Amino acid sequence: MLAKKFKLPIQKSLKNKKALKFLKGRYFCFKIFKSELNYSRFGIIISSKILKKSYLRNKLKRIVFEKIRLEKFYLRPNQDCLIVVLPEIAKIFSAAPLNKEEIIKDLEINLKKIF
């Protein structure tokens, strides 16, 4: 599990900031913001319109944060990353939440482009 200091407080911190970088993948949209910290922070937004069931939204958040932790993306300095989940993920994740290889692959490719 990713430590709390590496999680981005979404509602407090990003109200008046403009994104430095913007990247859109197949299932995720990434917004990168400048930060004054020596490490990166990550936040994820999953709308209830995309995944109706809360346990699926939480499961997807855990998958994303675990991939970030394992690949050590949080060690890159001076960046905040907001990950917005796109509606295309509902087709795959609602049908088979255990089949997550395609989602992880897309996430990893896009995070490596950013960092």
The span from the CA of 15 to the CA of 52, in Å, is: 26
33 found inside a domain: yes
Residue 2 lies in a domain: no
* Phi/psi of residue 71, nearest 5 degrees: -85, -5
Residues 45 and 86 sit within 8 Å (Cβ to Cβ) = no
Task: State the total domains in the chain.
Answer: 1
The predicted pLDDT at position 92 comes to 79
Position 48 in a domain: yes
CB 27, CB 67: distance < 8 Å: no
Question: Residue 97: is its pLDDT beyond 80?
Answer: no
Residue 31 included in any domain: yes
Q: Considering the domain boundaries, does residue 12 fall inside one?
A: no
User: Is residue 103 scored above 90 in pLDDT?
Assistant: no
pTM of the model: 0.86
In a domain, 70, yes or no: yes
The CATH number covering residue 91 comes to: 3.30.230.10
Instruction: Flag whether 90 is in a domain.
Output: yes
Evaluate if residue 14 carries a pLDDT over 70.
no
Q: pLDDT of 17-76, one tens digit each?
A: 777 889 999 999 999 888 888 988 999 999 999 999 999 899 999 999 998 888 887 787
Where in the sequence is the domain holding 65, given as residue range(s)? Answer: 19-114
Which residue is associated with the tokens 């050590």?
72
Residue 87 within any structural domain of the chain = yes
